[in-house]
């Protein structure tokens, strides 16, 4: 079986865990068969490996960007750890929040349902979800222009302000998420049946075409094996501003 080499192209985004590139087969430069590759230098790849293990556990979940495999290759005489991911050009939730004009409560509930279905496990996550819902509704960050320590102090001492110009069921949902004592917060399973989620999700789904998800691995249908020469860096293509991931 011959190994297809994949080239990294423009940068999609970067963070504390690594840098994300779009990649395509090296012998098909104009191919629409693309993946996203998240990379980190091998000596500093511990957190990225943990993220990979987490994504493996969630493979097949339609709310999560799919993970197709991982690989170690050599770039500029240094080992690089790569994770091959589904390429999703729809933009991030953060991109949507930053678009001028507030999201309707229906859309907020729709995206919230997807977040709950995919990634929540703890009461801390539920509190964070409440903050994200406020940001989706208002289109603004809860805490602005504060240092890390100031942010920690605000979180410990203060409470996020629930907007007043929203529906009563939205306020109730946020109160269930943002209860100061963790044991009083609703679980993700319980929140999925809150009227804010159920009523709005059904209304949005009725007005949307049902999206069909396909989890075909672009790296091939056979067993995937890591190699040291799977990737080669494509030099000279300028970085692409912004980060692109499939919406939930």
Annotated binding residues: 38
The pair of structure tokens assigned to 245 is: 């991931």
Query: By C-alpha distance, which of 62, 3, 68 is closest to 38?
Result: 68
Enumerate the known binding-site residues for ATP.
Answer: 38
Give the DSSP per-residue string, the chain.
Answer: -PPPPEEEEEEEEE-SS-EEEEEEETT-TT-S--EEEEEEEGGG-HHHHHHHHHHHHTTT-TTS--EEEEEEEEETTEEEEEEEEE--TT--HHHHHHSSSPPPHHHHHHHHHHHHHHH--SHHHHHHHHHHHHHHHHSS-SS-S--HHHHHHHHHH--PPPPSSS-HHHHHHHHHH--SSGGGSPPHHHHTTSHHHHHHHHHHHHTSPPPPP----TT-SS-----TTSEEEPPSPPPPSS------
């Amino acid at each position: 079986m011959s190994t297809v080499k994949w080239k990294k192209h423009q940068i999609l985004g970067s963070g504390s865990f690594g840098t994300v590139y779009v990649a395509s087969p090296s012998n098909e430069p104009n191919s629409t068969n693309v993946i996203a590759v998240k990379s980190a230098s091998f000596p500093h790849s511990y957190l990225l490996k943990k993220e990979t293990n987490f994504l493996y556990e969630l493979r097949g979940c339609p709310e999560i960007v799919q993970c197709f495999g991982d690989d170690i290759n050599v770039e500029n005489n240094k080992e690089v750890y790569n994770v091959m991911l589904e390429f999703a050009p729809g933009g991030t939730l953060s991109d949507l929040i930053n678009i001028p004009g507030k999201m309707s409560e229906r859309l907020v509930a729709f995206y919230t349902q997807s977040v709950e279905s995919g990634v929540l496990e703890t009461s801390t996550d539920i509190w964070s979800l409440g903050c994200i819902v406020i940001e989706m509704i208002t289109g603004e960050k809860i805490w602005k222009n504060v240092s890390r320590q100031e942010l920690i102090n605000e979180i410990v001492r203060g409470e996020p302000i629930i907007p007043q110009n929203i529906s009563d069921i939205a306020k109730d949902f946020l109160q269930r998420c943002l209860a100061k004592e963790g044991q009083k917060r609703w679980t993700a399973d319980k929140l999925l049946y809150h009227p804010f989620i159920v009523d709005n999700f059904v209304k949005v789904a009725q007005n949307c075409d049902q999206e069909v998800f396909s989890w075909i691995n672009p790296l091939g249908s056979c067993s995937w094996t890591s190699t040291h020469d799977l990737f080669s860096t494509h030099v000279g293509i300028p970085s692409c501003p912004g980060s692109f991931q499939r919406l939930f």
